[in-house]
Amino acid sequence: MRGAVTDLRALASASGEDMPPSALEDLQRIFSLAITLEEQLAAPSTHHDLMNTISAMRGYAEMLQEDIGAQQPALNDSLTRLLKATENASVGAASGIAAQRAPAMAAEPGFILAVDDLAENRELVARYLSRSGHLVVTAASGAEALRALAESDVDVVLLDLMMPDMDGREVLRRIKANPDWRATPVIVISGSQDMDGIIACIEAGADDYLFKPFNPVLLQARIKAGIERKRWHDREEQYRQQLERNEKFIRATFGRYLSDEIVTDILERPEGLELGGDLREVTIMMSDIRGFTSLSEHLGPAEVVAMLNRYLGAMTDIIMAHNGTIDEFIGDAILAVFGAPQRRDDDADRAVRCALAMQAAMQGINADNAAAGLPALATGIALNTGAVIAGNIGSERRSKYGFVGHPMNVTSRIEDHCRGGEILISDSTAVKLSGRYTLSDRRELEARGLDQTVLVHRIEEYRDG
Amino acid sequence: MAEQAPILLVEDNEINCEMLSRRLTRAGLSVITAADGVQALQLMASAQPALVLMDMNLPVMDGWSACRAARQNPALKDIPIIALTAHAMETDRQSALAAGCDDYATKPIDFPDLLSKIRRLLPA
């Protein structure tokens, strides 16, 4: 093509003076079309664009021949050569060079495994597909194909059915039986128009089929569809793994503090992943073993830890059973919250019932302690309801879901006043209760560090459901 | 030929449009042009061309849709349409005929062949 154009340029400049202006204009058009064509052949461009350029070149060259071919035999010959070159280019384009460049054919390059026992078939397919920018590996047998699959991340398998040793159907069966390969699209190629065989393959998991001799454009289209399928699957898989990671993260972050029910609730809410800080009303629970510090002084460290773990383990189970969120253990003290990360209407009631259950459980714990020769424990529990800021609090390296706010301090002050076996609730918790409880010993607490007194009640029992 | 209604050439590629309309004019045909499917349908209705040469790959509305629309319109359904496409596949020819085209020519255009197809479809 370039040779033909250079020739034409030389002729045009030599005989330019003898040519009518309109012919010179057409020549100029042909030159610029030749440049366009070269650019299109060098860069990815659509088959349609390419054919438009070739078509226009051919049209102008033919018109020029009609106009001045008779007077300019050299130019006429040169145009004939150019026409021949454009024809070759268009045939080349139609047979595959540019077919993949058409919009419908433009494929994301993929990694194709072509399996065929005949060398010339492998070469043909490899040539078609590598022209379109695909990476092609070939395998001459089923065993080779399985090796190639194990070694590389294949996007699409092009599988000949008729092979000695292991035939295509067996290779297909093994691909679909392998969890790592199952998602890799397989296009089966049959030498005969054996529809029953093809149907059997599709039932066995083949994604598509071609009959020999296959049409290169059809091959490209099927490969493209196969690659797209694989990419979809890969993206889906990635997304699934991401979700799984998120879920694992949430379970790891909250699982120790929250009941499974709340964790599952959070995971099921789409906004559950965004646990930024927010102001919310919660019922705060603080409990403490009375006199634990002096008690522990008389015990060995191993006994202290064993006794604490037994106690905290039992309390954790009870709090989780009431859907409370354990914020932290500080020594023998427990800080738990009802109403975060998820608010429920019965937060205060659950907190009170939880406290009652915790006190009731102390009998069993103390029986175990007595049997182990350990002293009896008595715990005091304080409840208070108020608005706190809940969220992931801390530094980038270490953060936890926690709570800050004045109601936290108030709870702590109430807790200071609890005697062993006692549950004290602030009036703000009491007004939230909908169940019936026996309250007693209503009093105003003068707490250190607080400007105002706090009205508290003692909970004696839960009267009914 | 002077009495003949014009041929409508629908082609968005400027240089091809220019080239083809010149060649058609030189062959004694009168030519009007449109650059997309919608324009084509409008011109078909207003100018009642004797025949339409329609590139299939057009902006705004492609040739396939324009053909189908023309075939559904009682005023346009009898105007012959020759599809011009870049694809030489048998399936392309069939889908052009299925869309309501009367004939089919592949780019690069073989002009004498196109001319004989036009003459065959033009009313006597």
Domain membership flag for residue A249: no
A82 and A214 in a common domain: no
Q: What is the pLDDT of residue A346?
A: 93
Instruction: Say whether residue A241 is in contact with chain B using an 8 A CB cutoff.
Output: no
Domain membership flag for residue A395: yes
A448 and A321 in a common domain: yes
A89 and A147 in a common domain: no
Q: At a CB cut-off of 8 Å and minimum separation 6, what does A186 contact? A: A156, A157, A159, A172, A175, A176, A205, A206, A207
For A186-213, letters b (16+ CB in 10 Å) and e give bbbbbeeeeeebbeebeeeebbbbbbee
For A42, phi then psi, to 5°, come to -80, -35
A220 and A352 in a common domain: no
A116 and A93 in a common domain: no
Cβ of B87 within 8 Å of Cβ of A47? The answer is: yes
Instruction: Say whether residue B45 is in contact with chain A using an 8 A CB cutoff.
Output: no
Among all residues of chain A, which has the CA nearest to that of B11? A52
For this complex, say whether ipTM is above 0.85.
no
Domain membership flag for residue A256: no
Percent of the residues in chain B that have a pLDDT greater than 90, as a whole number: 31
Identify the residue with better confidence: B16 or A291.
Answer: B16
A345 and A378 in a common domain: yes
Q: Give the domain-ending residue among A101, A134, A164.
A: A101
**pLDDT (tens digit per residue) in A90-132:** 665 554 433 333 333 345 678 889 999 888 888 888 888 877 7
pLDDT mean over B24-39: 90
Instruction: Say whether residue A97 is in contact with chain B using an 8 A CB cutoff.
Output: no
Domain membership flag for residue A241: no
- Give contacts of A 39-78 with B, CB under 8 A: 47-48, 50-52, 54-60, 62-63, 66
Among all residues of chain A, which has the CA nearest to that of B25? A63
DSSP string, A419-464: PTT-EEEEHHHHTT--SEEEEEEEEEE--TT-SS-EEEEEEEEEEE
CB A30 within 8 Å of CB A57? yes
Q: What is the pLDDT of residue A103?
A: 34
A389 and A340 in a common domain: yes
Place of tokens 């026992």: A117
Interchain CB contacts (distance < 8 Å): A and B: 52
The pair of structure tokens assigned to B64 is 């396939």
Q: What is the pLDDT of residue A422?
A: 94
Alpha carbons within 13 angstroms on the beta-carbon side of residue A374 total: 25
**Structural domain boundaries, residue A179:** 111-235
Instruction: Say whether residue B19 is in contact with chain A using an 8 A CB cutoff.
Output: yes
A21 and A123 in a common domain: no
A231 and A333 in a common domain: no
Give CA separation, A3 vs A6, A8, A34, in Å: 5, 9, 11
- Return d(Cα B40, Cα B45) in angstroms, integer: 9
CB A429 within 8 Å of CB A410? no
Domain membership flag for residue A243: no
Give the CATH number, domain containing residue A147: 3.40.50.2300
Domain membership flag for residue A265: no
Instruction: Say whether residue A129 is in contact with chain B using an 8 A CB cutoff.
Output: no
A425 and A282 in a common domain: yes
A62 and A154 in a common domain: no
Domain membership flag for residue A373: yes
Give the total number of structural domains in chain A.
3
Q: What is the pLDDT of residue A302?
A: 82
Q: What is the pLDDT of residue A15?
A: 59
Question: What is the mean pLDDT of each successive set of 10 residues along chain A, which is 465 residues long?
Answer: 62 63 80 78 73 86 84 79 72 47 49 89 83 82 90 88 86 91 91 83 89 82 88 83 72 62 64 62 94 80 85 92 88 90 89 95 91 89 92 63 86 92 94 87 80 88 66
Give CA separation, A431 vs A295, A456, B29, in Å: 36, 11, 95
Q: Domains along chain B?
A: 7-110 (3.40.50.2300)
Give the CATH number, domain containing residue A389: 3.30.70.1230
Q: Give A214 to chain B, closest Cα distance, Å.
A: 13
The pair of structure tokens assigned to A154 is 């294949």
Domain membership flag for residue A261: no
Q: Give the domain-ending residue among A71, A101, A131.
A: A101
Instruction: Say whether residue A33 is in contact with chain B using an 8 A CB cutoff.
Output: yes
Q: What is the pLDDT of residue B96?
A: 78
Q: Give the domain-ending residue among A210, A235, A260.
A: A235
A297 and A340 in a common domain: yes
The pair of structure tokens assigned to A193 is 């128009």
Query: Residue B80 pLDDT > 80, yes or no?
Result: yes
Among all residues of chain B, which has the CA nearest to that of A217? B89
- CA-nearest of A212, A202, A226 to A117 is A212
Instruction: Residue B9: list chain A partners with CB under 8 A.
Output: none
